[in-house]
Homo-oligomer: A and B are copies of this chain.
Amino acid sequence: MTQLNAQLAFIRELDRLKSVRRQALIKSDNNRQENSAEHSWHIALTAVTLQEYAEEDIDISRVIQMLLIHDVVEIDAGDTFAFAAIDDLNAQEEKELQAAHRIFGLLPEAQSQSMLALWLEFEKAESADGRFAKAIDRILPLIQNVQNSGGSWARHKVKKSQVLARNQYLDGLAPKLWDYVCEQIDVAEAKGWLIS
């Protein structure tokens, strides 16, 4: 297979992420479930918009590219709700690693290796870029749920303590965003969207 044919196979495969449904609901589209492709677009632009709040030096180009590919593995592995049982989340990790090898493996060797490395950097969140990308991945669902009367929290009876624990990650990485999150979690509790 030529270099270009391998790249086109990858581009065609990406189309399938548009059929992977997440728990988030889209207010502007009759509350249908969001898919992972449009989520990845939204989160990349959220990172662009909020980049000034990163405490560490980041390379926004790498952060965007991480976020564009972070969910591609769901083509094989599907989406797991952030507040699912811990056994389900662990099983998901293994499935996603296999998926990463298969899907990025469609690309020519050098490109495949660099995409896989970028995906792992996001998963491990051990670099400044990986940490900020992960922080943005935590805050966007909160912004959407607050916009949408509790959205997936309300539907799944999520607890305030769970959302606090998940977003505490922002403390230190983006303190101003963490302040906003704390404020909004209190609002959500007061409105009954999160269980106390």
The answer for the CA separation of A34 and B19 in the assembled complex, in Å, is 11
The answer for the CA separation of A148 and B34 in the assembled complex, in Å, is 23
Residues of B within 8 A of A65 (CB): 48, 64
Residue A155 is within 8 A (CB to CB) of chain B in the complex: no
Q: Shortest beta-carbon distance, A69 to chain B, in Å?
A: 7
The answer for the CA separation of A10 and B143 in the assembled complex, in Å, is 11
Binds B, one of A24-32, A81-89, A120-128: A24-32
The answer for the CA separation of A28 and B12 in the assembled complex, in Å, is 10
Q: Shortest beta-carbon distance, A132 to chain B, in Å?
A: 15
User: Beyond A15-B144, A143-B11, is A41–B49 a contact (Cβ under 8 Å)?
Assistant: no
CB pair B37 A16 closer than 8 Å:
no
Residue A68 is within 8 A (CB to CB) of chain B in the complex: yes
Copies in the complex: 2
CB pair B41 A37 closer than 8 Å:
yes
Q: Shortest beta-carbon distance, A17 to chain B, in Å?
A: 8
The answer for the CA separation of A69 and B50 in the assembled complex, in Å, is 15
Binding site for B on A (CB under 8 A): 4, 7-8, 10-12, 14-19, 26-29, 34-35, 37-38, 40-42, 44-46, 48-50, 53, 60-61, 64-65, 68-69, 107, 111, 140, 143-144, 147, 176-177, 180
Which of B60, B68, B147 is close to A12, meaning CB atoms less than 8 Å apart? B147
The answer for the CA separation of A46 and B9 in the assembled complex, in Å, is 11
CB pair B107 A49 closer than 8 Å:
yes
The answer for the CA separation of A48 and B151 in the assembled complex, in Å, is 33
Which of B48, B69, B180 is close to A45, meaning CB atoms less than 8 Å apart? B69
- Select from chain B the residue with minimum beta-carbon distance to A30: B19
CB pair B11 A27 closer than 8 Å:
no
CB pair B15 A49 closer than 8 Å:
no
Interface core residue of A16, A18, A64 (most chain B CB under 10 Å): A18
